Amino acid sequence: KNLNRDNRSRSRTETRLTEERSTVMSSYSQRRAISDFKNITSASDAIARKVLQASGWNLERAVDDYYANRHKYPAAKLGDKKKIAKIFDKYMDEEESTDELFGEALFNFLSGIDVDPEESVSLAVCWKLNCTEMGRITRDEFVNGFSMLGLDSVKAMKTEMAKLKSIFNNPREFKAFYQWLFTYCTEDKRKTMDKEIAVSMWEQTLPSVFPLLKDWLEFVNENEQLKFVSKDLWNQLLEFARDVGDDISKYDEDGAWPVVIDDFVEWYNDK
Amino acid sequence: MQGRKKAGKTDSHEYHKHFEEEWKFIERSFQRLLELVDSGYKAPPDHNDFIKQNMETYTRVYNLCTKNDSAKCGVQAAGLLYGRSKEMIEKYLDSRVTKNVVNKKGEELLKQLYKAWESHQLVVKWGRFMFHYLDIYYTKHNQVDNLRVMMLRCFNSAVYEKIKVDLCDVLLKEVEKERGGNTIDRIVMKEAINLFVEMGLESNHIYEHDFETPFLEQTAKYYQRMSASWLSEDGGIHTYLKRVENSLNQEQQRSLSYLHSTSETHVISRVEQELLTEHKARVLEDPDAGTQALLANWKTEDLGRMFQLFARIHNGLDKMSEIVREYIKEEGKAINKKFSAGEVDQKGYIDASLELHDKYTGLFREFFNNNSHFFKARKSAFEVFINETLAPPKGDNQKITSSELLSSYCDNMMKNEKITPDELEATLEKIVELFTYISDKDLFQEFYRKQMSKRLLVSKTDNDNERSLISKLKLKMGAPYTSKLEGMITDKNLGAETQKSFLEYCKHKGKTVDFDFTTQVLTTGYWPAFKIDPLNPPTELASNMASFTEFYNQKTKSRVLKWVHSLGTATLAAKFNKGNKEVIVSTFQACVLLSYNSKINIQASDLAKEYALPFEEIKRTIHSLAFGKFTVLKRNAAGKKVVAESDIFHINEDFHTPQRKFKIPGVTRAVPGDPHDKTDESRRHVTEACIVRTMKARKQLSHNELQTECIKQLSHLFKPDPRLIKKRIEDLINRSYLERDESDRNMYRYLA
């Protein structure tokens, strides 16, 4: 009997290794995965199962996928769109023709849900709502976003948004947020971000994550040849921050780092 | 008699008697043999009788073994004969021979042994004859040694075993004597040593164990001593290798003359080890007589000897070729330095490099057997120093590289009309060899292209010479490398054809070509990029240009002609007060001058407008006409030799020069792009193509693997900078040709 079980588990690991999208898994380990998933993301059972299945029951990938594509996975209980719409109308500036929250209206709204508009947390709000244009929240984004999150009262929003600060401590969530931030800050057609915008974004979002941020910003500002930041550089910067921490000697110069980061390390070591 | 009592007709007792009788005779004759041998085998007076007796013995042995009714008796008889003859020999050896030999020393031992051994060999010979039948009938089927072996064994135990150590000592002492320069009796040596071989019967085991090994030991020790003393002598290092050579020859001779044939290789390798391997570093690296010193003083014979000797030993040439390589590198770097101080003498530099290269070709061929180690050494040395850039001291931005120098050298050679075809061929061969060492081959291509285009269009050059070099390059680098160059030559050759067809076309269409109008069509991709100026041609030129364009368009579809006026030349007939002249000028200069056919005074800016040229161009053109060597134009106002927009010029009617036909040197033609920039650009494309190609084939690669693969592919053309490759990879990621793997950031994937 023991032999059989060993054989089975061995074959299971083999299949898992060779074919990622295998569905040969015992229900026990499936349940395990689902409960793990729920612990991390506090999503519902159904969603957990769906995401895990789509990622071949690979917990890591499932969680990453979930955070990156929040809008695909609505909360257990959808918020009442009518109520949400009312909140939107309350804050929207009636004089403006477009159906969007921006400028002072946006400022007021954010303060209204206890989110400091100056802080990077405000960006996180936009992320949660899956906004596309910087500095604005459209009606649709507002209504659908909060609905998906299951928040239809200001109070609910306040509590939920307060939790947002935690993403800076959760590496996976932060990564998804950070990567989204790039597309948010660049206009539609462009593949690169202006240096100035990048710098200000980094200043706002990276301090708790990137110990060498100050040096990095100094380097970037001094470097005149660097005018645009590509998506690759943006994403890789986070990886770099995580790999190196505050000890730049951990840097592996044979790793496939973008040339700009190589230059940064050289510059840093020369100082 | 140990026979079985047999019932039967033949009485065994009878037989036994018969046997003993026969034996007496046999015993007697065998004894006679032994006596004879013992006395030195002086030919017995009754020699024939001796032979007859032996024959008789043979027959009797034969009879005893065969002619009897019972096979068993025969076997018994044979066995008896065998045993008794053996006893006889043993007795003889013990009583007579051993005592002569044992406890003798030195030469005495040798002499006695020689005698004893000679004698015994005779015994073996005759004994075998007499008892021959035993070998056929008895020994084979009864698991006993054949006669020869048996007799040798007798000798072995009676004599050899007792004296073998002493014998070996004696022999070795003799060898030592001979090495010291004395003569010894080599024949005796050979025989004595042969004894060891014979004693081993079928194998060399005894020989190797009892003689060869001690011999090799002694040899090794001897040469150890000698080499140490030679090297410690004052100035001994200079003669060392000669002595080594001598020693090796001597030892070889010695082995041939008295050692067994298998020993030769053992001896030689042992000697080589003691003389060469042990002292390899010491000899090669000696500051006065080592490889480097010999190279510096160009002692080719000594180098040759050094090569021959060290080629014998394992890994002998590694160190030597290393030293050669370093030395060539130093020489090369010295050349670099010499030609960097002061103005870089292009021709001199290449000449010096070629000379250096040649010097060693000769050395390798004559003294080093064209051994590949050294060619490799030279190659790596050249690759290092030839690719160092020579920094011009003026502090120009562009460092001069050997790519450029080599290209200019070729340029000069092609333009040199005095050089003979054979000389040229030889030099071209050498140039191509030098070319292989350059790492930035694509930069060479750019420079060469630029210079060749000038040669083809402006100067005169021999097409055959051009083709010769191109085909050599093609052989080395493959067709893609030389395709553009070949294209250029083809264009030029087609030019004449095209011209002919054009004239025919004009005749056919009834168009007149006013003057001698020749065109040359250049295919854009092959030629370096030329600046296209938007010239508004004068009427004389315009109609011909239109005709040609028409002709060309009907000849080939979907091609666009662009006129490169900056390359054109014109010959004008000019009437001056002091005589008519023919003036060779550039197209622009011609335009300016032709304007004066209609007006006397023209302002500079008007000229610019008329021909739709940028003012800079007109400025230069007028300058060459008014302030150059041949001042055919004169300015209305005086002043500095600078052309301003408002300046007005007129033809200098009083112009005079002794030549009837002359060329007005023109403006410096627009440089068609800096080869360095072009090369950088093309490298970017080539690198990207390489990356995409590799990724497409492999689908997924790690960063390091991709880098390695690309470097391998690209080094054929130039030395790729890893940074460049990295940058291209990033660019390709940005353009969505590649992507990073989500879980492993060092892995790239190809995006279809």
Joined together, the tokens standing for residue A243 give 């790999």
- Based on DSSP, count helices (H) and strands (E) in chain B, helices before strands: 31, 9
Residue whose entry in the numeric block shows the structure tokens 């957990």: A48
A81 membership: H or E segment, kind and range: helix A81-91
Structure confidence by residue, pLDDT tens digits, A40-88:
776 777 777 878 877 777 887 787 777 766 656 666 667 777 888 888 8
Collapsing DSSP to helix, strand or coil, B102 comes out as coil
Cβ A163 vs Cβ A115: under 8 Å: no
CA–CA separation, A145 and A131 (whole Å): 9
pLDDT of A20 above 60: no
Whether the CB of B725 is below 8 Å from some CB of chain A: the reply is no
Beta carbon pairs, A and B, within 8 Å: 38
Residue A22: pLDDT band (50, 70, 90) is very low
**Which residue in chain B is spatially nearest to A233 when comparing CA positions?**
B730
User: What confidence score (pLDDT) does residue A13 get?
Assistant: 58
Check: complex ipTM more than 0.90? no
Collapsing DSSP to helix, strand or coil, A227 comes out as coil
Whether the CB of A6 is below 8 Å from some CB of chain B: the reply is no
Whether the CB of B730 is below 8 Å from some CB of chain A: the reply is yes
CA–CA separation, B85 and B91 (whole Å): 10
Whether the CB of A236 is below 8 Å from some CB of chain B: the reply is yes
Residues 6+ apart with CB under 8 A from B61: B26, B81, B130, B131, B132, B133, B134
pLDDT of A21 above 60: no
Q: Any idea what DSSP says for residue B400?
A: B
Report CA dihedral (B707, B713, B716, B721) to the nearest 10 degrees.
-20
Measured between beta carbons, the chain B residues lying within 8 angstroms of A233 are 730
Best of A182, A232, A261 to mutate (most B CBs within 10 Å, chain B): A232
Closest to A191 (Cβ–Cβ): which among B726, B734, B742?
B734
**Angle at CA of residue B249, ends B245 and B255, nearest 5°:** 145
**Which residue in chain B is spatially nearest to A65 when comparing CA positions?**
B742
Q: Inter-chain contact A258–B742, Cβ cutoff 8 Å?
A: no
Q: Go through B640-649 and write b for each residue having 16 or more CB atoms within 10 A of its CB, e for each that does not.
A: eeebeeebeb
Measured between beta carbons, the chain B residues lying within 8 angstroms of A255 are 703, 745-746
Helical H segments across B141-279, by residue range:
147-155, 161-179, 186-199, 205-206, 213-232, 236-258, 263-272
Integer CA distances (angstroms), B613 to B147, B536, B545, B592, in order: 117, 8, 18, 11
Residues 6+ apart with CB under 8 A from B295: B303, B323, B324, B327
Report CA dihedral (B118, B122, B127, B133) to the nearest 10 degrees.
120
Beta pairing partners, B572: B583
Cβ A92 vs Cβ A150: under 8 Å: no
Q: Is B736 left (phi over 0), alpha (psi -120 to 50) or beta?
A: left
What rounded mean pLDDT belongs to chain A?
Answer: 78
Measured between beta carbons, the chain A residues lying within 8 angstroms of B740 are 232, 256
Cβ B387 vs Cβ B325: under 8 Å: no
Collapsing DSSP to helix, strand or coil, B169 comes out as helix
B573 membership: H or E segment, kind and range: strand B569-576
Q: Any idea what DSSP says for residue A132?
A: -
Joined together, the tokens standing for residue A261 give 């980061």
Q: How far is B696 from chain A (nearest CA, A)?
A: 19
Q: For each successive 10 residues of chain B (752 residues), what is the average pLDDT?
A: 49 76 82 78 66 83 73 74 84 81 79 82 83 81 81 84 84 88 85 85 84 91 90 84 89 89 89 88 86 88 89 87 91 85 75 89 89 90 85 61 86 84 87 89 89 83 86 89 90 87 86 81 85 80 86 85 84 85 86 85 84 83 84 82 83 84 73 77 91 91 90 88 88 87 84 81
**Which residue in chain A is spatially nearest to B739 when comparing CA positions?**
A232
Query: For chain B, how long is the longest CA-to-CA vector?
Result: 160
Joined together, the tokens standing for residue A234 give 């943006």
Whether the CB of A230 is below 8 Å from some CB of chain B: the reply is yes
User: What confidence score (pLDDT) does residue B327 get?
Assistant: 92
Residue whose entry in the numeric block shows the structure tokens 């492999």: B698
Q: Residue B627 CA to chain centroid, in angstroms? A: 59
Joined together, the tokens standing for residue B476 give 């080395």
Beta pairing partners, A137: A101
- Tell me the range of A9-23, A196-210, B321-335, B605-619 where mean pLDDT is highest: B321-335
Helix pair angle (B587-595, B615-626), 10° resolution: 80
Joined together, the tokens standing for residue B565 give 């006026």
Measured between beta carbons, the chain B residues lying within 8 angstroms of A59 are none
Measured between beta carbons, the chain A residues lying within 8 angstroms of B746 are 255-256
CB atoms within 10 A of CB B398: 12
CA–CA separation, B184 and B177 (whole Å): 8
Best of B734, B743, B747 to mutate (most A CBs within 10 Å, chain A): B734
User: What confidence score (pLDDT) does residue A243 get?
Assistant: 84
Measured between beta carbons, the chain A residues lying within 8 angstroms of B748 are 256
**Can you say whether the dihedral through the CA atoms of B2, B6, B10, B14 is positive or negative?**
positive
Whether the CB of A258 is below 8 Å from some CB of chain B: the reply is yes
A177 membership: H or E segment, kind and range: helix A171-185
CA–CA separation, A76 and A91 (whole Å): 27
Measured between beta carbons, the chain B residues lying within 8 angstroms of A261 are none
Joined together, the tokens standing for residue B243 give 């002595």
Enter the pTM of the model.
Answer: 0.71
Best of A191, A259, A260, A265 to mutate (most B CBs within 10 Å, chain B): A259
Joined together, the tokens standing for residue A268 give 């840093």
Residue whose entry in the numeric block shows the structure tokens 């490889």: B291
**Which residue in chain B is spatially nearest to A240 when comparing CA positions?**
B745
Closest to B565 in 3D by CA, of B628, B611, B631: B611
Q: Inter-chain contact B726–A255, Cβ cutoff 8 Å?
A: no
